[in-house]
Structure 1
Amino acid sequence: MSRLFLLPALMAISLAGPAGAATCPAPDTLREDAVERRFTQERHIEGMSKPLRSDGVLRADEERIVWHMTSPFDVETVITADGITESVDGGTPQPVNAGPANMGAGIARSAAALMRGQWDELRTLFNVSSPAVLESGDWEILLTPLQDRMKSAIGTIRVQGCTEVVRVEIGGAGGDRQVIDFSSADDAS
């Protein structure tokens, strides 16, 4: 009798996966005007036994991105079409030299497009894969830079989500990588 009970239980578990997948809308349906999320970022550096970890809040809209790391240090980075500034411990924002004059604008547009689900805009810089459905039911998209210089700097970007982007993994040169987990917009402060 116990084997007969086990079969329906296993079937119920196996059917739960596809039902969960049906609850996630396609990533191209994400349409957010503004984003506010808490994040945890881990930087895995080749040769270091433990990743470097930081926490904070990301805010993004059409005009700018504010990446405010609150732990282990208080650093607020603001990216706009005019460039990138950084403020440490609430101090006066200082310009950050980020290379070519329009690099800040490009970074701001790409990051905002990623978090807001604007995949067509990302296709100008990346090969954007078709979404794959994970066991959890979430979708995953791979972004591969179109330019060789960008490929050598950041490698592949793996984006996961369901109703919003929840995880971004950036594979860098030499085995280094960054993993950024975003909590629900309701948890942002």
Structure 2
Amino acid sequence: MMRRLIAYICLGLVGLPLAAHAFDRQALQERLEQTPALQGHFTQTRWLADVDTTLESQGHFAYVRDEKVVWQLETPVEDTLVLTPADATEATPPNDARRAGREQIAALLLQLLGGDWSALESRFTQTLEGDADDWRIRLTPRDPALAERIGEIRLSGGRYIEHLEMRLAGGDRLRVDFSNQAPLTPEEIDALPDATTR
């Protein structure tokens, strides 16, 4: 009996490293896909290196799988962007790195939450670390032209994406912290705007 118990314990210990390595990109995607519609608050901070200035804005976002991301800026000004999967392919970084922001973030959320890893794979190398409750992924541009505008993108979270940081050309950085995230109800989905505002 004791020998059998020891054998079970040993098997369990041998299995631990395998379980630790089981969290891969597919496992992360499956975790994110558990919530087909999500809403929450965001705080967006930009560091502009050449003028040594920090700009902060806040608002709410809503995501509906395979349909859209609604990005509602509330402070310091009010503005709303509705981005669909078709729009996301056009959300490439502009020549002015300072303008990189809401469209790129919305496009990333659509691709990550919507399972469009192939779109990201064609543009970025991806390094994933951690486990289901505390994961981190780094995206590095493959294309030299894209690398001239974006140094890297880092995302981290657990149940949901909690932090996004984008390092831009010239030393600029953009960070978005997500909070108060919760699934959307059917009534809340119906109430979302559907007109894209740019």
User: Shared topology, TM-score over 0.5?
Assistant: yes
TM-score (norm 1): 0.64
Question: Following the alignment from structure 1 to structure 2, what is the Cα–Cα distance between the partners of residues 33 and 79?
Answer: 16
Q: Supply the RMSD in Å over aligned alpha carbons.
A: 3.1
> What is aligned with 2:69?
65
Among 92, 114, 117, which residue is 2:112 paired with? 114
For residue 55 of structure 1, the aligned residue among 46, 53, 58 is 58
Tell me which amino acid in the other structure corresponds to 1:54: S
Aligned length: 146
Distance 1:83 1:109, change over 3 A: closer
- The 8 Å contact of residues 153 and 172 in structure 1, kept in 2 or not, is answered as yes
Pair 1:110–1:42, CA change in 2 (3 A): closer
> Structure 1 CA distance, aligned partners of 2:118 and 2:48?
31
Instruction: Name the structure 1 match of 2:124.
Output: 126
Aligned partner of 1:103 in structure 2 is: 90
Question: CA shift at 1:139, angstroms?
Answer: 1.4
Confirm whether residue 45 of structure 1 aligns to residue 48 of structure 2. yes
Q: 1:33 & 1:126 partners in 2: Cα distance?
A: 25
Distance 1:184 1:150 in 2: 32
Q: 2:175 aligns with which of 171, 176, 179?
A: 179
Residue ranges of structure 2 left out of the alignment (5+ in a row): 1-19, 93-102, 189-198
Q: Could you say which residue in structure 1 is the equivalent of 2:38?
A: 35
| Structure with more helix by fraction | 2
How far apart, in 1, do the equivalents of 2:41 and 2:85 lie?
A: 23
One-letter amino acid matched to 1:36: Q
CA distance in 2, matches of 1:66, 1:138: 26
Equivalent position to 1:157, from 147, 153, 156:
153
Q: TM-score, normalised by structure 2?
A: 0.62
Does the aligned pair in 2 maintain the 1:35–1:116 contact within 8 Å? no
* CA positional deviation for 1:182: 0.3
5+ residue gaps, structure 1, are 1-21, 85-101
Check whether the contact 1:42–1:179 (CA below 8 A) recurs between aligned residues: yes
Report the Cα distance in structure 2 between the residues aligned to 1:141 and 1:82, rounded to whole angstroms.
25
User: Aligned AA for 1:69?
Assistant: L
